[in-house]
Amino acid sequence: MAQQASSVFSRRQALRAFGLTAAALALGACGPQGSQPAATQAPGAAPAGGGGKSLSGSTVRMGALANYKGDAIEQMLPEFEKSSGIKVQLDKLPDTNLSDKLTVSFASGSPDYDVAMMDEPWVPGLASFLVNLDELVTRDKVDLSQYVPQGLAAGQYNGQRVALPLDPNVMMLWYRKDLLETKGLKAPTNFNEIIDTAAKLNDSSSGTAGISVSAKKDAQTSTTAILLLWNEGQELITPDGKFGFDSPAGIKALQTYQNVIQYAPQGVLSYGATEELDAFYGGKAGMVFYWASIGPNATDPQKSKAADKVGWTGVPNGMRGVWNLGIAQESKNRDAAWELIKWMTGPDGSRLFTSFGGGHSPRYDVLKSPDFQQKYPWAGDFQKALEASRARPQTPNWNGIQTVIIDMTSAVLSGQQSPEDAIKRATEQVTPYLKS
């Protein structure tokens, strides 16, 4: 459903787009030296074109994710408050609660937050309630060339920039180097090689599976299905607005998924994201294809059985997922909110966010810094994977579409339906989301 960010997207539509599938959000799921971006003022100074009013003493309300990302934000904010004189009231909520609160309060015209932390799929549904940042970026000469383009694109909708990236994520392959070496195998470079390597690593005698995946009703199950569809050369939503799985490529993708779980640990049909990762960390699988955000855990001896033997690589067409920061149109503190976003996504804020373990940086000047690369040794592969990544379709109805894919895929993997029958049913269910 196309819309201009400045056009009227009804409050009822926004609530319906998000409210239909709030449960899907609960299922799903990311210092160094760098050059300063060109800017016309320091934090807290009178903003260019802002009437010359000092922002010191202002208060900004911010909604953030209640996990390690939100914790990192909480640790970095005192530095911003000290340098700017702007006070930040931080509210940390689980993703479903945060998305619901943003949707309801933005649609009501009385936003609970001036600055919102948003997962990439939320952006289309919230875009009409967010400030267009293009004018502010131009006014303050923010150097957008410092951002990885694929990360920067996540905050654009219908040609307008409504958010800037804070924490980009991308699917990468994590594998046991020792197991590959024992079999005389090299790290896979594409999805077909991943599947072939999984078959060769699968060893029932040692109790080590080739690859760990999700197979139950979980957002990660839909992610893998989409990746396999892309691997067959098919879009999820075709140029003529059709459901991409309703095709020979879609049937092949689900058949491949059925094949893949043969090389997964026993009990894979009960695996969601948590179980998928636990199997890899516990040494039950030789590989896992998962978000780059697991890097710190995968290489931590306290959390991963073979941490010192873990390798990684990016694969073309891996899915991206970016957490963004935007400003509510009805905010009474726009200038102060913009100062906060500009700082958090700038070199100083991004450096602090990553150093406190919040996730990765969307900025080249931070990604290439020695300190970042020491803390995140997969930095180079992460950057390449992000630059070669693909995005989920931009639609306010994404959560509904994702739920259909989850149900379709889990039904096939559990043997309840054939790929053909599951796709036929899913196509009927997903069509209203594609047309609205």
Tell me what the mean pLDDT of segment 71-81 comes to. Answer: 98
117-147 pLDDT tens trace: 999 999 999 999 999 999 999 999 999 999 9
Which of these, 223, 379, 353, lies nearest to 288 by C-alpha position? 223
pTM of the model: 0.88
Determine the Cα–Cα distance for residues 57 and 403; give it in Å rounded to an integer: 44
CATH 3.40.190.10 domain range(s) in the chain = 11-169+321-387, 170-319+395-435
| CATH T-level assignment (fold) for domain 170-319+395-435 | D-Maltodextrin-Binding Protein; domain 2 (3.40.190)
Tell how strand 115-119 and strand 156-157 pair up. Answer: unpaired
Determine the Cα–Cα distance for residues 352 and 71; give it in Å rounded to an integer: 12
The tokens for 216 are 């139950």
253-285 pLDDT tens trace: 999 999 999 999 999 999 999 999 999 999 999
User: φ and ψ at 314, to 5 degrees?
Assistant: -90, 155
Tell how strand 310-314 and strand 164-176 pair up. Answer: antiparallel
Residue 35 per-residue DSSP state: P
Domain 11-169+321-387 has CATH 3.40.190.10: yes
- Whether the predicted pLDDT of 1 surpasses 90: no
Determine the Cα–Cα distance for residues 406 and 409; give it in Å rounded to an integer: 5
